[in-house]
Amino acid sequence: MLQDIDNQIYNLIQKESKRQIEGIELIASENYVSKAVLEAMGSILTNKYSEGYSGKRYYRGNEYIDQIEDIAIERAKELFKVDHVNVQPYSGSPANFAVHLAFLNPGDKTMGMALDAGGHLTHGFKVSVSGKYFDSVSYGVDENGYINYDEVRKLALDHKPKLIWAGFSAYSRIIDWKEFRKIADEVNAILVADIAHVAGLIVAGEYPSPVPYADIVTTTTHKTLRGPRGAMIMCRKPYAEAIDKAVFPGSQGGPHNHTTAAIAVALKEAGTEEFKQYSKQVVLNAKKLSEELIKKGYYIVSGGTDNHLMLVDTIKSVKLSGKEVSNALEKANITLNKNTVPNDSRKPWDPSGVRIGTPAITSRGMKESDMEKIAYFINTVLENIENNSLIEKIKGEVKDFTKRFPVPGIN
Ligand SMILES: *Cc1c(COP(=O)(O)O)cnc(C)c1O
C-alpha cells in the first residue's frame, strides 16, 4: 500500500483530499471526477505502450487497449455527433499544438481570442509556442465584454489567417459559431472551436454546439465534462488523417491508456439524464451567483453569464486586485483564480479581476439557495480583508457549510 511504501506522498494526498472536502471550489476549470473515473485512471493500463492507433500499433499486446480506445472514440462520436475523434492528446495544450502542427508551417498565421479578453494561451499568446512559432493575431471583446464579430471579420480580412480559433477560458457569453463559420469562409481559413470549458454543457444541450460549423473541435476532458485530465480532437473526415498524424507521431509518443479508459467512462456518464440535470444546474447556479454578487454591488464583466463562469472586476467592485482577492478568499477556504479582465491595464500576475465558476460546487450538489450563502461568504471576507479573526470565523462557517455536500470520488 502507498501508505507503507511512501508515507510522505500518502500524507500529502490525504491533506489535499481534506482541502478539497473542506473548501468551496470556484475555479471554473476544475471539477470532481467520480469513483469510476478514478478507478480507471488508477489502473494497470498505465503499464502499456501503444504507439499508433487501434489496429495499427507499433508494439504487440494491444488487443484490449484497442478495444478501450475504440469505445472511447465511439462514445465521443455519438455524444458530440462528429465524424472523427482522436482521444490521445495528453491534455488541452498539446491538442491545440497538434492542430497548429497539422495545418500550419512555422511563421504561418493563426488567429484567436486575446488572453486578456478570455482566450487561451494556446490560441496564439506570445509566450506560448502558438505565438512564438506562428504569426499570431488576436481579437478582443468590446467595452461591454462581448465579442465584436465585425472586428473579428476585419482582422481576418486584413491578416488572412490559415486557422481561426473560437473558444475561451474566461468568456461568460454564448459564442456565435455560425458567424465564425462565415468569417472563416470569407478568408478561406480552417475554423477550430476549442470547447475545453463548455464541452459538458454542450453534451447536455446547455450551450450551443460548434459541431455543425467548425472544421475541427478540440476539448479538454477534465473541466465541465468531468473526466480525467486529457483531451480530444474531433473533426470532419477530410481533416482526420492530418490530425491523427499531428498527434502521433507529430507531437506525441505513446498514448496514456489509463486516461483513455477514464475518458471512456466519463463519456458514458456524460450521456446520462443525471449529467443533463447536473449541467443545467451548473448554469442556473452561475446565473444565481452572478445575480447575488451584483446585488451586493459587484461588477461582473458583461453584466452576467450564459454559461458556467463569470469574471468579476474586483478593482471596480472592491478596489482590490485579483491577486489580493484570491489570496484573501483562500484564507477562508474559498478557492478561485485571479484573472485579467477585458482590456486590463494591469499585468496577468496581478490583474484586475477574478474568475468564478460553478462546475465543481454543482458536482457536490449545491443549488441556487447555496449561491446566496457563497456570495455572503465572499462579500464578508472582502469587506473585512484586514480583519483576520473575522476571516478565521468565516473559514469555520465555510467548513461547516461544505460538510453538507459530499465530494464525488472522495466521500
Ligand atoms: C484549459 C484549456 C486548455 C488547455 O488545457 P490544459 O489541459 O490545461 O493543457 C486549452 N484551451 C482552453 C480554451 C482551455 O480552457
Task: Give the tens place of pLDDT for each residue, 62-91.
Answer: 999 999 999 999 999 999 999 999 999 999
CA of 93 to the centre of ligand 1 (A): 6
Would you call 383 a catalytic residue per the annotation? no
Q: Are residues 107 and 229 in the same domain?
A: yes
Q: Which of 245, 270, 295 is the last residue of a domain?
A: 270
CATH (domain of 298): 3.90.1150.10
What is residue 151's predicted lDDT score, i.e. its pLDDT? 97
What is residue 263's predicted lDDT score, i.e. its pLDDT? 98
The one-letter amino acid at 106 = P
- Euclidean distance between CA atoms 107 and 137, whole angstroms: 12
pLDDT, one tens digit per residue, over 143-163 is 899 999 999 999 999 999 999
Judge whether 164 and 190 are in contact, CB under 8 Å: yes
pLDDT, one tens digit per residue, over 257-282 is 999 999 999 999 999 999 999 999 99
Residue 354 lies in a domain: yes
Residue 14 lies in a domain: no
What is residue 365's predicted lDDT score, i.e. its pLDDT? 98
Catalytic choice (10, 22, 49, 323): 49
What is the end-to-end Cα distance of the chain in Å, rounded? 20
What is residue 348's predicted lDDT score, i.e. its pLDDT? 83
Upper half-sphere CA count for residue 57 (Cβ side, 13 Å): 19
Report the predicted TM-score, pTM, of the whole model to 2 decimal places: 0.97
What is residue 339's predicted lDDT score, i.e. its pLDDT? 96
Query: What is the grid cell recorded at 177?
Result: 459559431
- Euclidean distance between CA atoms 398 and 410, whole angstroms: 18
Q: Are residues 360 and 398 in the same domain?
A: yes
What is residue 45's predicted lDDT score, i.e. its pLDDT? 98
Angle at which helices 92-103 and 240-247 cross, to 10° = 120
CA of 196 to the centre of ligand 1 (A): 6
> Pocket around ligand 1: residues whose beta carbon is below 6 Å from it?
29, 91-93, 96, 120, 122, 167-169, 194, 196-197, 220
CATH (domain of 239): 3.40.640.10
Would you call 269 a catalytic residue per the annotation? no
Query: What is the grid cell recorded at 169?
Result: 477560458
Q: Best substitution site from 88, 91, 93 to test ligand 1's pocket, by max atoms within 8 Å of Cβ?
A: 93
Query: What is the grid cell recorded at 22?
Result: 473542506
pLDDT, one tens digit per residue, over 279-318 is 999 999 999 999 999 999 999 999 999 999 999 999 999 9
How much of the chain exceeds pLDDT 70, in percent? 100
What is residue 164's predicted lDDT score, i.e. its pLDDT? 98
Residue 375 lies in a domain: yes
pLDDT, one tens digit per residue, over 10-58 is 999 999 999 999 999 999 999 999 999 999 999 999 999 999 999 999 9
Phi–psi pair at 194, nearest 5 degrees: -105, 105
Domain that includes residue 345, residue range: 283-402
What is residue 411's predicted lDDT score, i.e. its pLDDT? 77
Upper half-sphere CA count for residue 217 (Cβ side, 13 Å): 27
